[in-house]
Amino acid sequence: MNKKYVYFFNEGNKEMKSLLGGKGANLAEMVKIGLPVPPGFTVTTEACNRYYEDQKQIHALIVEEIFQSLEELEKRTGKKFGNPQNPLLVSVRSGSVFSMPGMMDTILNLGLNDETVVGMALATGNERFAFDSYRRFIQMFGDVVLQIPKFKFEHILDREKEENRIVLDTELTAVHLKNIIQAYKQLVQKETRKGFPQEPKEQLLMAVNAVFDSWNNPRAVVYRDLHDIPGHLGTAVNIQSMVFGNMGDTSGTGVAFTRNPSTGEKKIFGEFLMNAQGEDVVAGIRTPQSIEQLKDYMPEVYDQFITLANLLENHYKDMQDIEFTIENGKLYLLQTRNGKRTATAAINAAVDMVDEGIIDKETALMRVEPMQLDQLLHPTFEEKALAEAEKIAQGLPASPGAATGRVYFSAQDVVAAVNEGEKAILVRLETSPEDIEGMVAAEGILTARGGMTSHAAVVARGMGKCCVAGCGEIRIDEGNRVFKVNNLVFKEGDYISLDGNAGAVFAGSIPTMEPELSGKFSILMNWADEIRSLKIRTNADTPRDASVAVKFGAEGIGLCRTEHMFFEENRIPAVRQMIVAKTKEERMAALNKLLPFQKEDFIGIFEAMGERPVTIRLLDPPLHEFLPHHEEDIKALALQLGMEYAKLQETVDELKEFNPMLGHRGCRLAITYPEIYEMQVRAIVMAALEVKKEKALEVKPEIMVPLIAHEKELAIIKKLIIDTAKNVMEQYRETIDYMIGTMIEVPRAALTADAIAEHAEFFSFGTNDLTQMTYAFSRDDAGKFIGEYRKKEIFEKDPFQRLDQTGVGRLMEIAIELGRKARSDIKLGICGEHGGDPESIEFCHRIGLEYVSCSPYRVPIARLAAARAAVINK
């Protein structure tokens, strides 16, 4: 075997993470730059893989290499493994490429046995310390290697403390500790039918085995799945000579970050404990002190630590999370890694580091995860209150934010309650466009059904409103105005709270905090704008949403869904009149009533957007969505319209479809009722002409036709648009520029994009429908089974959230290629939900789209994601 499986720390460096694991590579790097690290060596990840290839046996040659290294370690430390006079003790720690909670972490004091403990007591002149170390070792080894439940050791420890009326571990004397050790050893004998292993080399190999085994324990496997860490990476094992923080009053141990991980403030942030060993700081038995207080105990050590911490940060050019131990006044570093941080800290630290000259702007952009920004764009719960809250159910995190309010089961009730000055949560089986006013008024929305692209989810994200969707655990009884979950009952008016980031539902009200966008946030965004080539537009249907999006940096509207305008109280009667009309004249009369409203809508949007481009989509949903479905509601509407109930019921029944998503919707509506689109085009062109005249705004509307599958559909509708626009312009004796384009959201359109491009000046990929139709997964029903698909690893991510690059993405590439062939300057964008997903945005950058369009609250995320895509693909 000529491959090397063991590396001394001084043989490696920080680039060797895949071989030495993160911890091993960083220990090696620290040794390389001359920092005080206790000597040791790393058994590589390749040894771990070899272990699995050899049916969970450490190969004899690897064992030999480990023992040779151990001999070398003895030479370097002047101590001997298993020697009672001067014993070498080591720590054994796992270390994979990515740090992974759930794997075996640490065994300290390995090498102690009944003899060496006595030697150690003599050598240090501190019997209590030696026996305390042995007691800890048996406990840790028993737990992680021998797999004896931890609580059994803790019982023994507690019993000894109780019997002797002792509160703190530090009050245990050597005699108490010897009793505990005796009882621990009996426990091991009982549980394993063997004595506690006394041979240090045997202890070591057992520990290495345990680390390798922990790579595949269930917790580690789940964690890897969650974070896309491949199983073939394996873990390394670090074996390092011990230093002791529990040697007395000039010893201690601690953990510190080079900057504050919550705020990013450039100031060492950390904790330590005097006279303690590593796990005491984390275990919470004693309350650690803040790192500044170390100055009072040992000013020189404190100064040295600060110097080394700064040195490490400058060396890694990133915030470090450092573990240290002080042994008899001497400082040692045991680990360093890039510190985990909040979004605020990530932004502040990245911007500061550019100012300090440590990193460049591109690196700063790569330091902030786009999705992390979400934390900063919505209200959040106060942390302390959240920790104490009672969680009652788990749904999908459909739209981020935190909301608290009283439960109401209909949109009208929400509106009424809000008018009374209450805060309300709309709870529905699922929402429909009729609920829009309630959704606007509510603090948050909870639905029992529906997935991440259900109506509730899409609309809530668009409004930046907190929403938990598809929460199947709750059972809603709308009639009695209650919902039940487990054995709890929530009545109308009861308080609940929603965490839209986690999809969690809580009982009662939890106080929230408003987001603060710091100055550094906008600095980072400006850097993103300098670098990105993708433009960022927004999906907005109202002037209010449009203004929010502009505030967040949107450069245009990529999708204005006109149907949302039809639901407002003062329009819906005319919309319904139009739908039930039996003749073209009746229909025209209703449409004429709608025209002024539509015109005002577009004027509002044009004014909010200035001269930024605005894509307006003509009517898309099936008409039945605008009609009521319950008998009482239909009766009420019949009365309102002056119609016979039976006639109206007939119309409602006629409009019912088996699969409305594949039914009479989109451009198909205009093929049968051209006058609907004609009215909308009229309104668009009139609005553009009027803002030109009155506000001197030159707008160039982009008129978009949905659901095109065949070029002839588009040819017919295009003619209608041109004729209508011409007619309006003649009437106004003025002209405007406008464009005609289509959504590409039906697979056939993608596959025949060359023919379609003959009639379209732009394409906008509607990847919600395109995903639905490519997979033949109903957007409204897929929520029921996608969870199972993810569990069975058919999908890594819900394809309605992250673009399926292989299938749906392939159709996009085909459409782009064909579209450009027919029209070289065709404008290309995306307006499906994927336009706000960072990984999908990267794909859009690569395939050469001009812009992505996303909900207003995703705009900053998209700006950053687009910048990172540019950096990555440079």
Residue with tokens 């803790």, as numbered in its chain: 154
Q: Is 769 in the site for Mg ion (CB under 5 A)?
A: yes
Size of the site for Mg ion (CB under 5 A): 3
Of residues 689-728, those binding ligand PEP (CB under 6 A): none
Residue with tokens 């965004």, as numbered in its chain: 525
Size of the site for ligand PEP (CB under 6 A): 10
Q: Which of 768, 813, 846, 871 binds ligand PEP (CB under 6 A)?
A: 768
Of residues 60-89, those binding ligand PEP (CB under 6 A): none
Q: Is 93 helix (H, G, I), strand (E, B) or coil?
A: strand
**Residue 378 vs 537, nearer CB to Mg ion:** 537
| Binding partner at 613 among ligand PEP, Mg ion, none, C-beta below 5 to 8 Å by kind | none
**Residue 42 vs 539, nearer CB to ligand PEP:** 539
Catalytic residues: 455, 831
* CA distances from residue 486 to 57, 472, 826 in whole angstroms, order as listed: 48, 11, 55
Report which of 563, 588, 604, 620 is spatially closest to residue 687, judged by C-alpha positions. Answer: 604
617 is in an annotated binding site: yes
Pairing of strands 396-399, 466-469: antiparallel
- Distance separating alpha carbons of residues 151 and 160, to the nearest angstrom: 14
Least separation in angstroms between CB 598 and ligand PEP: 18
Q: Is 769 in the site for ligand PEP (CB under 6 A)?
A: yes
- CA angle (238, 21, 344) in 5-degree steps: 115
Least separation in angstroms between CB 303 and ligand PEP: 59
Q: By CB under 6 A, which span of 105-113, 601-609, 760-768, 839-847 interacts with ligand PEP? A: 760-768
561 is in an annotated binding site: yes
Q: Which of 724, 767, 774, 801 binds ligand PEP (CB under 6 A)?
A: 767
Q: By CB under 6 A, which span of 257-265, 523-531, 713-721, 764-772 interacts with ligand PEP? A: 764-772
Neighbouring-strand partners of residue 404: 497
* CA distances from residue 627 to 244, 396, 837 in whole angstroms, order as listed: 75, 28, 33
CB 452 within 8 A of CB 781: no
Torsion angle in degrees (nearest 10) through CA of 298, 301, 307, 309: -100
DSSP 8-state symbol, 359: S
Least separation in angstroms between CB 373 and Mg ion: 26
Which pair of structure tokens corresponds to residue 676?
A: 């609907």
Amino acid symbol at 46: E
Q: Residues near 301 by Cβ (< 8 Å), separated by ≥ 6?
A: 294, 326, 329, 331
- Write out the DSSP string of 651-720: HHHHH--SSGGGSS-THHHHHH-HHHHHHHHHHHHHHHHHHHHHH------EEEE-S--SHHHHHHHHHH
Least separation in angstroms between CB 772 and Mg ion: 8
Q: How many residues does the chain have?
A: 874
CB 838 within 8 A of CB 370: yes
Least separation in angstroms between CB 712 and ligand PEP: 21
**Residue 211 vs 714, nearer CB to ligand PEP:** 714
Neighbours of 35 (CB within 10 A): 17
Report which of 395, 387, 380 is spatially closest to residue 427, judged by C-alpha positions. Answer: 395
Q: Is 565 in the site for ligand PEP (CB under 6 A)?
A: no
Of residues 744-763, those binding Mg ion (CB under 5 A): 745
Of residues 610-649, those binding ligand PEP (CB under 6 A): 620
**Residue 690 vs 745, nearer CB to Mg ion:** 745
**166: exposed, middle or buried (Cβ count in 10 Å: 0-12, 13-18, 19+):** middle
**Residue 500 vs 766, nearer CB to ligand PEP:** 766
CB 325 within 8 A of CB 245: yes
| Binding partner at 561 among ligand PEP, Mg ion, none, C-beta below 5 to 8 Å by kind | ligand PEP
Least separation in angstroms between CB 768 and Mg ion: 5
766 is in an annotated binding site: yes
Report which of 648, 647, 613 is spatially closest to residue 629, judged by C-alpha positions. Answer: 648
Site string for ligand PEP, 804-843 (x = CB under 6 A): ---------------------------xx-----------
**Residue 386 vs 463, nearer CB to ligand PEP:** 463
| Binding partner at 832 among ligand PEP, Mg ion, none, C-beta below 5 to 8 Å by kind | ligand PEP
321 is in an annotated binding site: no
**Residue 424 vs 811, nearer CB to Mg ion:** 811
Q: Is 780 in the site for Mg ion (CB under 5 A)?
A: no
Least separation in angstroms between CB 321 and ligand PEP: 41
863 is in an annotated binding site: no
Q: Which of 132, 541, 745, 837 binds ligand PEP (CB under 6 A)?
A: 745
500 is in an annotated binding site: no
**Residue 745 vs 798, nearer CB to Mg ion:** 745
Q: By CB under 6 A, which span of 135-143, 502-510, 765-773, 859-867 interacts with ligand PEP? A: 765-773
Q: Which of 95, 254, 401, 766 binds ligand PEP (CB under 6 A)?
A: 766
Neighbouring-strand partners of residue 94: 237
**Residue 12 vs 766, nearer CB to Mg ion:** 766
Least separation in angstroms between CB 620 and Mg ion: 6
| Binding partner at 323 among Mg ion, ligand PEP, none, C-beta below 5 to 8 Å by kind | none
| Binding partner at 559 among Mg ion, ligand PEP, none, C-beta below 5 to 8 Å by kind | ligand PEP
How many DSSP H helices and E strands does the chain contain? 36, 31
Least separation in angstroms between CB 745 and ligand PEP: 5
**Residue 348 vs 771, nearer CB to ligand PEP:** 771
| Sign of torsion over alpha carbons 551, 555, 558, 564 | positive
Report which of 45, 88, 16, 23 is spatially closest to residue 333, judged by C-alpha positions. Answer: 23
Q: By CB under 6 A, which span of 338-346, 678-686, 691-699, 761-769 interacts with ligand PEP? A: 761-769
Least separation in angstroms between CB 663 and ligand PEP: 13
Crossing angle of helices 127-144 and 150-163, rounded to 10°: 150
The phi and psi torsions of 785 (rounded to 5 degrees) equal -120, -5
Site string for Mg ion, 539-578 (x = CB under 5 A): ----------------------------------------
54 is in an annotated binding site: no
Residue with tokens 């790579």, as numbered in its chain: 215
Q: Residues near 765 by Cβ (< 8 Å), separated by ≥ 6?
A: 743, 744, 745, 812, 815, 828, 829, 830, 831, 832, 849
Q: Is 766 in the site for Mg ion (CB under 5 A)?
A: yes
**Residue ranges in contact with ligand PEP by CB under 6 A:** 559, 561, 620, 745, 766-769, 831-832
**Residue ranges in contact with Mg ion by CB under 5 A:** 745, 766, 769
Summarize the annotated binding site as residue ranges.
561, 617, 745, 766-769
Summarize the annotated binding site for Mg(2+) as residue ranges.
745, 769
